[in-house]
Amino acid sequence: MLHWQQMPHGGLRSPFHPGVKVSPNAMYAALVGMRGYRRISLTESQTRKLLPAWYVRVTRKGFQLNNRTYNLERGGLDAFRGPSDLAWLKGRWEVHCSPNNPEFAWLFDHQAEARGEDPWVEVPFIHRRLLLDRWTEEAWEEAVRIHQARGGSIRDEVAITRVLAELQRTMAAGPQEPQPGLTTPAAAPARPAPPRPRALASSVEATAELPPLDIESVRPFRSLDRPARDLFDTPEPVRGGAQSLEDFLASLPQTPHPDSGTLPPDDLPPPPGERS
């Protein structure tokens, strides 16, 4: 189906480019871009058609899907015991089943569809009454694995169903001790504990074994052997290095104090906010 949808076909050509063959997906995308689309809810029959499909032969005991037998009581599948008239299925019948709820399967009757009748026949799993809760295809495969690990046969459906029921009870009860035959993932090896830091001795303990301090034996740190101004090499003399502090203060602009009686000259323009 995926290959067919993406393969160009001679019957699909663009009216603007008749010489170009297009695929069904490309033609659908072009038409949707030109005309738009309207979402339509899928019917129950269309939804079942999208489920995974099997092609089986129906016998007196029903049919099998993944080592499970499905059948109807009182000969409900007798009409399908013969081969179907679908040559491409080699006489088999089309069956759909949900992996999230494989308790029932739906057999598709194409002959009933041609007559305008409901083509779906709901067929239950024959040992479904041994299970008290819903189950999935993944849970069934896990039960098969556990049953085979115990030495059981893959054809023993009743024993596999009982293992599945045991798994359901185990999951409902919560964590517990592992049972024989039920494998649990190996726990990761514990990492070695980091070494504990050595306890620091208190100041009293640290100085208890030290000899008494002799003040006369303490030597002062040696002084610099050159003036501090010679420690940094400057390519040019520092500006103002020969100026004294008094000369530097005198060179600063003088700001009159309001109480000193010295006011600025009258020819200075007033501030912008005081102009008349």
- Is the pLDDT at 89 greater than 90? The verdict is no
Q: Which residues share a beta bridge with 70?
A: 63, 125
Question: Is the model more confident about 239 or about 121?
Answer: 121
- Same domain for 122 and 136, yes or no, is no
- Same domain for 117 and 67, yes or no, is yes
- Same domain for 159 and 142, yes or no, is yes
- Same domain for 22 and 81, yes or no, is no
In a domain, 17, yes or no: yes
In a domain, 15, yes or no: yes
Question: Is the model more confident about 232 or about 193?
Answer: 193
In a domain, 11, yes or no: yes
User: Could you list the residue range(s) of the whole structural domain that residue 15 is in?
Assistant: 2-35
Average pLDDT estimate for 265-271: 55
Global pTM? 0.52
Average pLDDT estimate for 218-237: 63
- Same domain for 60 and 101, yes or no, is yes
Tokens of 255: 């700001």
- Same domain for 133 and 122, yes or no, is no
In a domain, 30, yes or no: yes
- Same domain for 108 and 137, yes or no, is no
- Is the pLDDT at 208 greater than 70? The verdict is no
Q: Which residues share a beta bridge with 43?
A: none
> What total of structural domains would you count in the chain?
3
- Same domain for 72 and 18, yes or no, is no
For the chain, the maximum distance between any two Cα atoms, rounded to a whole number of angstroms, is 128
- Same domain for 59 and 84, yes or no, is yes
Q: Are 72 and 62 in contact (CB under 8 A)?
A: yes
- Is the pLDDT at 127 greater than 90? The verdict is yes
Concatenating the DSSP letter of every residue in 77-95 gives: TGGGSSPPS-GGGTT-EEE
- Same domain for 165 and 92, yes or no, is no
CA separation, residue 236 to residues 40, 156, 239 (Å):
89, 102, 9
- Same domain for 76 and 99, yes or no, is yes
Most confident of 75-79, 81-85, 176-180, 248-252: 75-79
Q: What mean pLDDT value characterizes the chain? A: 79
Rounded Cα distance between 276 and 257, Å, is: 26
Q: Are 65 and 56 in contact (CB under 8 A)?
A: yes
Q: Of 126, 152, 182, which closes a domain?
A: 126
Q: What integer pLDDT is reported at residue 241 of this predicted model?
A: 54
Concatenating the DSSP letter of every residue in the chain gives: -HHHHHS-EEEEE-SS-TT-EE-HHHHHHHHHHHH-----PPPHHHHHHTS-EEEE--BTTBEEETTEEE--GGGTTGGGSSPPS-GGGTT-EEEEE-TT-TTEEEEE-HHHHHTTS--EEEEEBTTGGG--S---HHHHHHHHHHHHHTT--TT-HHHHHHHHHHHHHHHHH-S-PPPTT---PPPPPPPPPPPPPPPPPPHHHHHHTSPPP-GGGPPPPPPPSS-GGGSS--SSPPTTTT--HHHHHHHSPP---GGGT----TTSPPPGGG--
Per-residue pLDDT of 132-157, as tens digits, reads 899 999 999 999 999 999 999 999 99
Q: What integer pLDDT is reported at residue 157 of this predicted model?
A: 95
Average pLDDT estimate for 223-249: 60
Question: Is the model more confident about 45 or about 262?
Answer: 45
- Is the pLDDT at 11 greater than 90? The verdict is no
Question: Is the model more confident about 166 or about 269?
Answer: 166
